Structure 1
């Protein structure tokens, strides 16, 4: 029954999301974006997209020819498992408001994929929500700082895993 309701909602969105106004321009349904009122899962949705782009761009300093290598490596880096590890490495450096947002997102009801433990998935969701919040509020310096520290942490973890074998 839930799948039928989701499909109906999806169909409704497809039919109404991109309505045109009298001038033929796509109508916005909200006059402004109140970031503080967005759900933590929406913030995580944006943070996930930002971190993907950050990692893909950062990877260009290591490889500039092989798209498959870039795709495979970036997918590994942005996985819930490695994001959770990165969060644990930078947690002490977060502000109280960042930690509070993390905990709200961590506790939000969502479904973990099979590729990660439930704890890692919720941790990565919290991590992504912090990034999404920073992005949407325009705090680009802090966003860069957290992403770079996280990237470095993940790369070191991957390096250690491969040198230990």
Structure 2
């Protein structure tokens, strides 16, 4: 990216108000229901990763490599897809619609997961992003707590084999 292009983006992203506070220049209000499912997944991925990393501190606080290894496994598309498939029956119609939109979004699939796993994981992340942007923190917490428990059980079962 060229510097002048970068500068233009910065100028469009932020403005300084009379109080000297930085505020978004283009969008003051975010309507999550109008955002692309991939944008919702972008936010949801960040939320779930932070949630998992914070939860893992309850188990390990000194070994970053161990934390990263578990974090990467838990937030993987494979594990997220397992969680959302189990949670699907517990979703409201609106939540199920967000997951469906995320599953149907076209994106590049990495080699670490099947196409179906990656699509389901995108649906899961889109739901997390949607609930976060809707400020429905109680429901978000309920779903990520359940997902973490499902993924933990799955990882324990795999480790025992």
Q: TM-score, with normalisation over the residues of structure 2?
A: 0.89
Unaligned runs of 5+ in 1: 1-6
- Match in the other structure for 1:15: 7
C-alpha separation in 2, matches of 1:105 and 1:30:
23
- After superposition, where does 1:1-165 map in structure 2 within 5 Å? 12=5, 14-19=6-11, 21=15, 28-164=25-161
- Match in the other structure for 1:4: none
In structure 2, do the counterparts of structure 1 residues 133 and 159 end up closer, same or farther at CA, with 3 Å as the change threshold? same
| Partners of 1:18 and 1:27 within 8 A in 2 | no
C-alpha separation in 1, matches of 2:71 and 2:24:
35
Alpha-carbon shift at residue 121 of structure 1 (Å): 0.5
Give the CA RMSD over aligned residues.
2.0
Alpha-carbon shift at residue 114 of structure 1 (Å): 1.0
Tell me which moved more, 34-43 or 14-23. 14-23
Count the aligned residue pairs. Answer: 156
SS at match of 1:61: coil
Q: TM-score, with normalisation over the residues of structure 1?
A: 0.87
C-alpha offsets along residues 115-138 of structure 1, whole Å, 9 cap, x if unaligned? 111110000000000000000010
SS at match of 2:10: coil
